[in-house]
Amino acid sequence: MVRSNGVKTETSALSDIEDPVIIEEELESVQDALEDPVTIEEEPESVQDVQDIDDILNSLKSLLSTVDKLQKIRQEVGDIKPLIGRMLDGELLAGDELEQLKIGVTGMNRLVRAYSDHQAALAKAQPARKLLDQVLK
């Protein structure tokens, strides 16, 4: 009786390996599929839409922040217009009025920067109008 020792012969080992020509053809078809840009085109549009919406919402948040900051600085500066007018007219100010004027003029620098930031945020947030019209119809 003939017994098998479990070792495969050379011909049986080769029969287990796929035909190299078939493997090469499959590799070429996979490479062609990876190089084909058609399947990728539709996805970035939806990703772009989400990014646009996020940008619009972030610009609205930024605008709200600048409005809040502008209002706070306006309150801190107070009503120094009459004091500046009096100073420009040549009137000398003393005491509390002078201190109020010093604080007001220092705050004017911050107010001008806050106003500039507000105008930039306002311009950046304008695309939100179109989005709001579409969403809130």
17 part of a folded domain: yes
3 part of a folded domain: no
64 part of a folded domain: yes
5 part of a folded domain: no
Which has more pLDDT, 5 or 59?
A: 59
4 part of a folded domain: no
The model scores a pTM over 0.85: no
When pLDDT is cut at 50, 70 and 90, the band that residue 16 belongs to is very low
2 part of a folded domain: no
Which has more pLDDT, 43 or 80?
A: 80
Nearest to 105 by CA among 69, 131, 127, 81: 81
pLDDT given for residue 13 in this prediction:
45
Number of domains in the chain: 1
Range of the domain at 68: 10-135
Nearest to 68 by CA among 131, 30, 118: 118
Q: Is 17 left (phi over 0), alpha (psi -120 to 50) or beta?
A: beta
- Give CA 119 to chain center in angstroms: 19
